[in-house]
Amino acid sequence: MTVHMDITAFNKKAWNWQVDNNNPWTIPVTSEAVNKARNGEWSVLLTPEKPVPSSWFPKMTNLQVLALASGGGQQAPLFAAAGAKVTVFDNSPSQLAQDRMVADRDKLALTTVEGDMADLSCFADSSFDFIFHPCSNCFVPDVKPVWKEAYRVLKKGGTMIAGFCNPVLFTIDLDLEKQGIVQMKYKVPFSDATSLTEEERLKYFGPNEPLNFGHTLQDLIGGQTDVGFAITGFYEDSWKGTAPIHDFLPCFIATRALKI
C-alpha cells in the first residue's frame, strides 16, 4: 500500500503538473469574462457543469472573500472584478500563479496564499464574509478540519458554499468501468493511498494524478453542521461523458452553509 506519504507535498507537485499540462480546471478565465464581471455579468462553477445560483452569492462590493483551495484563475478573478476583496488560498503554486496572471493582465486586486486547506492558521478568526470552496476537498485525507477552519475564519452571519463528490463515485470497480460496467468494489472512506496498491494506482491514474479521497456523507454534510454551520442550500450535479456512473445518478453535491 502507498502509506507514509506526504500527501500535501505529493498533491502540490501533481497539481503543478496539471497546470503545465492544461488540465481543464487550471485554465484561467478570459479578459472578456473579467470585463463582463465588472459590469455585473458573471457566473462560476462549484461543481463540474451546473452554474451556482446567483441567489447563493451576497453582494460582492467590498466583500471579504476566501477562495478556499480554489486556485486556477477561474473564479477568484471574477469575484474581484465584481468588486470583492479576494484572497485565493491553494496548495499549488502553479495554480496560484494562474490567478496572479489574470490579476496582472486585467488589473485586478487579489491576494494569493499558498497552504493546506485543512490549516488556515495564517488567518485570524472572523476574517471573511464569504467562502467559495469548489470540489477540492477530495484531495485531503480528512475533510473535518477543513470545515472547522472554514467556520473559524468566517464572520458570524457569513456563508460558505462548497462543492464535493458523492462518495459513491469512489466505490466503482475501475477495471469494469472501462468496459462500461458500473459495479461497486471499494469501501468508503476511500483513499488512493491505502485503498489501492501502488501498482494499482499507477495503472489506473498514472504518476501525475493527485491523490483522491472519498469521504463519507456524514463527514461531508454532517461535518459542516457539527462545527456549527446551518445548511441553507443544496443541489446535485453531474459530469456527463467522464464515467459510466454519471448516466445513473448525479455524483456531485453543492451546499450553501450559514455561520449562525
41-80 per-position pLDDT tens digit: 999 999 999 999 999 999 999 999 999 999 999 999 999 9
Query: Looking at residue 4, what is its pLDDT?
Result: 61
CA distance 191 to 91: 19
CB 88 within 8 A of CB 116: no
Residue among 110, 95, 76, 107 at smallest CA distance from 24: 95
Query: Looking at residue 5, what is its pLDDT?
Result: 80
- Is residue 148 situated within a structural domain? yes
- Torsion angle of C-alpha atoms 92, 98, 103, 105, degrees rounded to 10: 160
| Span 186-196, average pLDDT | 97
Domain assignment of residue 136, given as a range: 7-165+215-259
- Is residue 235 situated within a structural domain? yes
User: Does the CA dihedral 207-209-210-213 come out positive or negative?
Assistant: negative
Rg (CA), the chain: 18
For residue 37, the 8-state DSSP code is: H
- Is residue 46 situated within a structural domain? yes
CA distance 128 to 123: 9
Residue 2 pLDDT > 70: no
CB 28 within 8 A of CB 102: yes
**Overall domain count for the chain:** 1
The verdict on pTM exceeding 0.85 is yes
- Is residue 70 situated within a structural domain? yes
CATH number at residue 118: 3.40.50.150
- Is residue 202 situated within a structural domain? no
CB 38 within 8 A of CB 81: yes
- Is residue 177 situated within a structural domain? no
- Is residue 193 situated within a structural domain? no
Query: Looking at residue 65, what is its pLDDT?
Result: 99
Query: Looking at residue 223, what is its pLDDT?
Result: 98
- Is residue 68 situated within a structural domain? yes
| Span 101-124, average pLDDT | 98
CA distance 65 to 90: 14
CA distance 135 to 165: 7
Measured in degrees and rounded to the nearest 5, phi and psi for residue 80 equal: -65, -40
User: Does the CA dihedral 154-44-142-120 come out positive or negative?
Assistant: negative
